């Protein structure tokens, strides 16, 4: 076989075998297939798609391009969760301690955030002293002792994904269901867990803005997981507004702690509760949704989930006192209250723009080398459907560097759409797979 033959086969809507896909991926990672040929192949896939078997084959080939983590030494069913990303999406810091408190084992490897606000690792690193850089011996020890740990991915985890994503990014081939699904699931499968729960976002702050597209991605990823022998479930959840009230790293940690302490309700808790319930179900710790949700509620109300988070923080070198006193988290020097410019109801939010407003304050990064300020961000004071009066507070900005403050405020105000008459609020959990 030749690369040209395979490009032509996919161009002409042919179906590739596992052997052919392995040849392409291994050749590209190994350097024998140049960028220009792989770009042509990716464009053929973008136009003609892949069937389920091809997508599973691509996922497996990418997974096997580097390290595959072995968690067999850890007890029980190891469960992982993944979100396709959004604004104020702090579900890992709520759901993972809950699952551990219910007897589950959560051994999670995460990546850095790029855009809006930081990723889970950046949020955790806002806790004084906490490290997310651990070797496998340290990682497994922490999971065995605490029931959970969240660390950075190993350097050689799925190198094919890093290479292919960089190429897709500059060849307009990012937004293809098969390519997105294989990118996400190759990393999940290589991370070594036995079961996976996926949270696919839809709405103005999501990569998959349309519901049908989000459902298609969720279905494809569940199919890949089950094809690989992993018990896999997915939710499609709404990202038409920031999921939590806090947008920014230390602020999001604070909100997660306050949820686990029983101080906050709302959308972040609702989605975290649903994800944790499914993590218990795929782990065999609950048979049905109602029973799983009861276990989740008891883990929070008893304080056991917060104790699990505290134990993980301490085991990873962080200051566990933040769970009792959130003022020990990084604090911005200045707080600015942003007032509503008109009377009415909050009809819509451009959630991605709210994320960009936080990024301009220093809460996110445009490039991988940018430094995040863990203290800054936005605390939302209004949600979709809320009634507002002129001068009421829409959000509170936590600010250190004022260089881009004016632009940040302007983008925030344009992102929150206030109109006359009551608003319709979309359902929070839109679909299940």
User: What pLDDT digit, counting tens, does each position of 341-363 carry?
Assistant: 999 999 999 999 999 999 999 99
Which pTM was predicted? 0.94
Q: Which residues of 297-328 are buried (b: 16+ CB within 10 A; e: fewer)?
A: eebbeeebbbbbbbbbbbbbebbbebbeebee
What mean pLDDT value characterizes the chain? 94
3-state SS, one letter per residue, for the chain: CCHHHHHHHHHCCCCCCHHHHHHHHHHHHHCCCCHHHHHHHHHHHHHHCCCHHHHHHHHHHHHCCCECCCCCCCCCCEEEEEECCCCCCCHHHHHHHHHHHCCCEEEEEECCCCECCCCHHHHHHCCCCCCCCCCHHHHHHHHHHHCEEEEECCCCECHHHHHHHHHHHCCCCCCCHHHHHHHHHHHHHHCCCCEEEEEEEECCCCCCCCHHHHHHHHHHHHHHHHHCCCEEEEEEEECCCCCCCEECHHHHHHHHHHHHCCCCCCHHHHHHHHHHHHHHHHCCCCCCHHHHHHHHHHHHHCCHHHHHHHHHHHHCCCCHHHHCCHHHCCCCCEEEEEECCCCEEEEEECHHHHHHHHHHHCCCECCCCCCCCCCCEEEECCCCCCEECCCCEEEEEEECCCCCHHHHHHHHHHHEEEECCCCCCCCCEEEEC
CATH 3.40.1030.10 residue ranges of the chain are: 78-323
pLDDT band at 117 (very low <50, low <70, confident <90, very high): low
Of 208-222, 353-367, 416-430, minimum mean pLDDT range: 353-367
Selection from 219, 217, 238, 237 nearest residue 227 by Cα:
219
Of 148-157, 299-308, 387-396, minimum mean pLDDT range: 148-157
What is the topology classification, in CATH, of domain 3-49? 1.20.970
pLDDT at 320 over 80: yes
Res 234: pLDDT? 98
Q: Which residue is catalytic, options 10, 123, 168, 201? A: 168
5, exposed or middle or buried, with CB in 10 Å at 0-12, 13-18, 19+?
Answer: exposed
Selection from 148, 159, 132 nearest residue 193 by Cα:
148
Res 366: pLDDT? 75
pLDDT band at 415 (very low <50, low <70, confident <90, very high): very high
- Residue 338: phi, psi to the nearest 5? -100, 120
Instruction: Give ∠ CA 216-220-224 in degrees, rounded to 5.
Output: 170
Res 66: pLDDT? 93
| Separation of alpha carbons 211 and 203, rounded Å | 8
Mean pLDDT of 129-139: 95
pLDDT at 397 over 90: yes
Instruction: Give ∠ CA 331-332-337 in degrees, rounded to 5.
Output: 120
Question: Would you call 420 a catalytic residue per the annotation?
Answer: no
Q: Which residue is catalytic, options 187, 201, 227, 382? A: 187
pLDDT band at 417 (very low <50, low <70, confident <90, very high): very high
Question: Would you call 398 a catalytic residue per the annotation?
Answer: no
Question: Would you call 82 a catalytic residue per the annotation?
Answer: yes
| Separation of alpha carbons 33 and 91, rounded Å | 40
Rg (CA), the chain: 22
Res 116: pLDDT? 60
Contacts of 327 (CB under 8 A, 6+ apart): none
| Separation of alpha carbons 142 and 225, rounded Å | 26
Q: Which residue is catalytic, options 10, 82, 201, 264? A: 82
pLDDT at 227 over 70: yes
Res 110: pLDDT? 84
Question: Would you call 321 a catalytic residue per the annotation?
Answer: no
Q: Which residue is catalytic, options 65, 83, 182, 183? A: 183
Strands 78-83 and 195-202 come out as: parallel
pLDDT at 114 over 60: no
CATH 1.20.970.10 residue ranges of the chain are: 3-49
Contacts of 415 (CB under 8 A, 6+ apart): 349, 350, 351, 353, 354, 357
Q: Which residue is catalytic, options 80, 122, 161, 199? A: 161
CATH 3.90.1170.30 residue ranges of the chain are: 330-419
Mean pLDDT of 316-340: 98
What is the topology classification, in CATH, of domain 78-323? Pyrimidine Nucleoside Phosphorylase; Chain A, domain 2 (3.40.1030)
Question: Would you call 183 a catalytic residue per the annotation?
Answer: yes
Assigned CATH for 330-419: 3.90.1170.30
Percentage with pLDDT > 70 across the chain = 98
Would you put residue 398 in left (φ > 0), alpha (ψ -120 to 50) or beta? beta
pLDDT digits over 239-281, tens only? 999 999 999 999 999 999 999 999 988 999 999 999 999 999 9
Mean pLDDT of 68-91: 92
């Amino acid at each position: 076989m030749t690369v040209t033959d395979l490009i032509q086969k996919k161009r002409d809507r042919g179906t590739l075998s596992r052997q052919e896909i392995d040849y392409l991926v291994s050749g590209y990672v190994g350097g024998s297939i140049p960028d220009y040929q792989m770009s042509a192949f990716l464009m053929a896939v973008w136009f003609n798609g892949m069937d389920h078997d091809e997508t599973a084959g691509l996922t497996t080939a990418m997974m096997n391009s580097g390290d595959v983590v072995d968690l067999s030494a850890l007890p029980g069913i190891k469960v992982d969760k993944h979100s396709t990303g959004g604004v104020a999406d702090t579900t890992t810091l709520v759901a993972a301690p809950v699952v551990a408190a219910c007897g589950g084992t959560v051994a999670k490897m995460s990546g850095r955030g790029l855009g809006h606000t930081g990723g889970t690792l950046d949020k955790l690193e806002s806790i004084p002293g906490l490290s997310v850089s651990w070797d496998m011996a340290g990682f497994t020890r922490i999971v065995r002792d605490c029931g959970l740990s969240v660390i950075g991915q190993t350097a050689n985890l799925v190198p094919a994904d890093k290479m292919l994503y960089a190429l897709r990014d500059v060849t307009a081939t990012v937004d293809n269901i098969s390519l997105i699904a294989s990118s996400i699931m190759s990393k999940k499968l290589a991370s070594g867990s036995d079961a996976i729960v996926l949270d696919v976002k839809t709405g103005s702050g999501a990569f998959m803005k349309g519901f049908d597209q989000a459902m298609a991605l969720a279905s494809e990823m569940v199919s890949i997981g089950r094809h690989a022998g992993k018990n896999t479930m997915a939710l499609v959840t709404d990202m038409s507004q920031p999921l939590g009230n806090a947008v920014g790293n230390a602020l999001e940690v604070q909100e997660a702690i306050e949820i686990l302490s029983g101080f906050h309700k709302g959308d972040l808790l609702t989605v975290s509760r649903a994800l944790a319930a499914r993590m218990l179900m795929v782990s065999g710790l609950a048979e049905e949704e109602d029973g799983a949700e009861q276990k989740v509620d008891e883990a929070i109300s008893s304080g056991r989930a917060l104790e699990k988070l505290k134990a993980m923080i301490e085991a990873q070198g962080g200051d566990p006192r933040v769970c009792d006193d959130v003022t020990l988290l990084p604090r911005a020097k200045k707080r600015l209250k942003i007032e509503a410019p008109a009377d009415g109801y909050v009809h819509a939010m451009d959630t991605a723009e709210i994320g960009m407003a936080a990024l301009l304050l220093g809460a996110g990064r445009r490039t991988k080398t940018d430094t995040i300020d863990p203290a800054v961000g936005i605390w939302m004071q209004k949600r979709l459907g809320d009634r507002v009066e002129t001068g009421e507070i829409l959000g509170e900005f936590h600010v250190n560097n004022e260089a881009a403050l004016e632009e940040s405020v302007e983008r925030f105000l344009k992102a929150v759409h206030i109109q006359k008459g009551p608003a319709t609020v979309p359902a929070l959990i839109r679909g299940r797979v």
